[in-house]
Amino acid sequence: RGDSKDYDSETESVCPFCGVGCKVSLKVKDGKVKYVEGINGPANEGRLCVKGRFGFDYIHHPHRLTKPLIRREDAPPKGLNVDPADWSTHFREATWDEALDLAAKGLMKLREEDPRSVAGFGSAKCTNEEAYLFQKFIRQGFGHNNVDHCTRLCHASSVAALIENVGSGAVTATFNEIENADVAIIIGANPIENHPVAATYFKQFAKRGGKLIVMDPRGVGMRKFATEMLQFRPGADVSMLNAIMNVIVEEELYDSQYIHRWTENWEAEKEHLRQFTPEKMAPICGIEPDQLRRVARIFANAKAGLIFWGMGVSQHIHGTDNSRCLISLALMTGNVGKPGAGLHPLRGQNNVQGASDAGLIPMFLPDYQSVTDDAVRAKFSQVWNSGDFSNEKGLTVTEIIDHAYAGKIKGMYIMGENPAMSDPDVNHARKALAKLDLMIVQDIFLTETANYADIILPASALYEKNGTVSNTNRQVQRVRPAVPPPGEAREDWAITVDLAQRIELNWDYTDVSQVFAEMKQVMASLDNITWERLETETITYPSLSETDPGQSIVFGHGFPRPNGRAKFTPASIIPPDEAPDEEFPMIATTGRQLEHWHTGSMTRRAKVLDAVEPEANCSMNPRTLKLMGIEPGEMVRLTTRRGSIEIMVRADRAIAEDMVFIPFAYVEAAANILTNPAIDPYGKIPEFKYSAVRVEKAAEA
């Protein structure tokens, strides 16, 4: 580690992995980041997890893209067949001018034929400014809203429910508010692995005597700190939550004053909940009536309660209904808008909050301003000095893939996303990508998606960038380049600007701070947040004055809805899209592991992380393995209606006996070959958390 005299420079930035947004100091020697130290950001107070501390060296990996590449005319057919260490049979090196000109020519040809034949995937791995420019590129450049990013695969249903019922898609309280809570629910989240530094605050809360209620079909690590652990049946969220709320209604534990002053539709919600008695719901959700009653009383009788949730809630065809229940639970107990209380979907990627805020979604412009609102579009057209664009909501990630498969979308610009690994039913997604006439991929590695590209533009990692990112807490923070991008690689915003100019857009940005200044013109959430302040401060939006560090809690004095009130939206039980049967008798669920991040393109190239967790694996209950005659460490074959993978299995008592847990970071056993593309009708999020699966010994399959 050494001390500062051992390094050439030290640069403050933000960890590139999860939505906690830990602040870091990057120590550089001889042009390379040598050490990462946690520093005093509001979300981490000097702490880091193993990814933040040891997962940085992917930025110096020899697989980094350093020159633009163009697919060779004599390349083999598109497919997952490019070796990132030797791509020369598929691609040839090009100059930036040649690659960008070719990309622009292809995009303009498609625009002339049919502008809707082009779509864009941006990334929650890029900065706010890059996300803003990317959505502007598609909207201004092609006149429609077919632009999206991985929020669609993550918390889209949570955001849909939050916007519908409280009027805003962001958290109502930072996770640090747990200091002021006396009860907290963590549901469908595994923060010890996925938000590890946030988990340290949750553990401290429990150790101080706070009541922690953990709800999850997997016996996740937080159960060790829980006052109550509810290991409910997969997909049974609504039945369990409605039963808890039924108790609150029947025992009149709700906060009448709060409901009367700040909400609407309570009577309908109350009547709806009467049918969901604990006795009726227990066989569905698998939780005993006594425990449902106990939990209802603990939460309703607390002075202040927080609800945290993760993708276990959102990634279902009823993900929006799951979130509606959580919102109703918080509202009926008066747990929004006061210290220690609130709703907090734990955001996954480091900048998924910021990318969504910046309008990288097909139905909303920056700050969740609807594309269907004429006045809103007129404002953007004026600031962009360009004509109007479509008032139709655009296509989402999975819809764009379906349109590409059907041949309706012919060209895509993909910045930093990896749909060839991250989409559900990924064999279908790969076939769709292979059909495109023009695919431009901007990334730092030759990802599985870049395998299908026609043009590859080498981009920059977060530690090579200037800009801002926004974490799960609504905290806006500066990122700064500790080292330059390798070779001829460039910052993403600069590449997008160059490409925009070549498709004849009127862009003249020369510095990323100019993009931030433009964002401030159209995003009220950035009021009082200036580039200068961000030099030295982390600011939680909304910030009420130029000296206000920002509001940790919002909606204490009303909600940003037409009548200032939050809404109860009753939710009914919708079963998972496919039920286990004789052919596929178990349930597969997917997620992340502590050491690996999402599709693994970064962490599997980080030496320490890859050494700790080098091999594709899944987990099953040891009793199930014993019954099936499978030893831990053996290879199993997992098969769903979409396809099969072979993968090493581990024994884990935390997994229910009828479940298999599969991390989705491993290309050699891609979990998303198995997953169900059925989507939630509101958030349009796929049901990653529930697929009917068959498990066999690989040797006997």
Applying CB under 6 A, the residues found at the interface with ligand SF4 are 15, 17-18, 20-22, 44, 48-49, 51-52, 195-197
Q: Toward ligand SF4, which CB reaches closer, 17 or 661?
A: 17
Helix H, strand E, coil C: the string for 613-671 is CCCCEEEECHHHHHHHCCCCCCEEEEECCCCEEEEEEEECCCCCCCEEEEECCCHHHCH
Please give the full DSSP string across 526-577, using - where no structure is assigned: GTT--HHHHHH--EESS--STT--B-SB--TT--SSTTS-EE---------S
Of 13 and 314, which has the nearer Cβ to ligand SF4? 13
Q: Which residue is nearest to ligand SF4 (CB)?
A: 52
> 37 vs 392, which CB is nearer to ligand SF4?
37
How many other C-beta atoms lie within 10 A of the C-beta of residue 466? 17
Min separation Cβ 580 and ligand SF4, Å: 34
Strands (E), 39-106: 69-71, 91-93
- The secondary structure of residue 269, as a DSSP letter, is H
What's the length of the chain? Answer: 701
Cα(88)–Cα(446) distance, rounded to whole angstroms? Answer: 12
Q: Pick between residue 51 and residue 324 the one whose CB is nearest to ligand SF4.
A: 51
In the complex, the smallest distance separating the C-beta of residue 190 from ligand SF4, rounded to whole angstroms, is 13
- Tell how many helices (H) and how many strands (E) occur in the chain: 23, 30
Decide whether 24 or 526 has the Cβ nearer to ligand SF4. 24
For the bound state, the minimum distance from the C-beta of residue 368 to ligand SF4, rounded and expressed in Å, comes to: 24
8-state DSSP, 387: -
- Judged by beta carbon, residue 82 or residue 192, the one nearer ligand SF4 is 192
Closer of 22 and 395 to ligand SF4 (Cβ): 22
Determine the longest span between alpha carbons in the chain, in angstroms: 73
**CB 602 → ligand SF4: shortest distance, Å?**
11
In the complex with ligand SF4, the residue whose CB is nearer, 15 or 522, is 15
d(CA 140, CA 381): 8
For the packed helices 397-405 and 426-435, what is the interaxial angle rounded to 10 degrees?
Answer: 60
**Alpha-carbon distances of 594 from 141, 193, 229, 584, rounded to whole Å:** 40, 4, 21, 29
In terms of C-beta density within 10 A (0-12 exposed, 13-18 middle, 19 or more buried), how is residue 197 classed? Answer: buried
> Smallest gap, in angstroms, from Cβ of residue 21 to ligand SF4?
6
**Least distance CB 157 / ligand SF4 (angstroms):** 22
CA 128 to CA 430: how far, in whole Å? Answer: 28
**48 vs 163, which CB is nearer to ligand SF4?**
48
Match 């290879």 to its residue by tokens. 635
**CA 339, CA 556: separation in Å to the nearest integer?**
9
Distance of closest approach, residue 355 Cβ to ligand SF4, in angstroms:
16
Cβ 185 to ligand SF4 shortest distance, Å: 21
With b for 16 or more beta-carbon neighbours within 10 A and e for fewer, the 470-490 pattern comes to: bbbbbbbbbbbbbbebbeebb
Query: Is the Cβ–Cβ distance between 627 and 475 less than 8 Å?
Result: no
3-state DSSP assignment of residue 61: coil
Grouping H, G, I as helix, E, B as strand and the rest as coil, residue 171 is: coil
The smaller minimum CB distance to ligand SF4, of residues 20 and 214, is found at 20
Token pair listed for 64: 């980094």
Q: Judged by CB, which is closer to ligand SF4: 53, or 61?
A: 53
Considering beta carbons, is residue 410 or 598 the nearer one to ligand SF4?
598
The minimum distance between CB 343 and ligand SF4, in angstroms, equals 21
Tokens at 82, concatenated: 């490019």
Nearer to ligand SF4, 52 or 359 (CB): 52
Backbone angles phi, psi at 641, to 5 degrees: -65, -15
CB of residue 472 to ligand SF4, shortest distance in Å: 9
Which CB sits closer to ligand SF4, 20 or 554? 20
Specify the 3-state DSSP secondary structure of 691.
strand
Taking the complex as a whole, the smallest distance from the CB of residue 36 to ligand SF4 amounts, in Å, to 9
DSSP percent split of the chain into helix, strand, coil, nearest 5: 40, 20, 45
Q: Is 152 left (phi over 0), alpha (psi -120 to 50) or beta?
A: alpha
| Minimum CB distance to ligand SF4, residue 48 (Å) | 4
How far apart (Å, rounded) are the C-alpha atoms in residues 57 and 35?
9
How far is Cα 695 from Cα 645, in angstroms, rounded to an integer?
Answer: 10
| Distance, C-alpha 272 to centroid of its chain | 32
Query: Is the Cβ of residue 137 or residue 201 nearer to ligand SF4 in the bound state?
Result: 201
CB of 123 to ligand SF4, least distance (A): 17
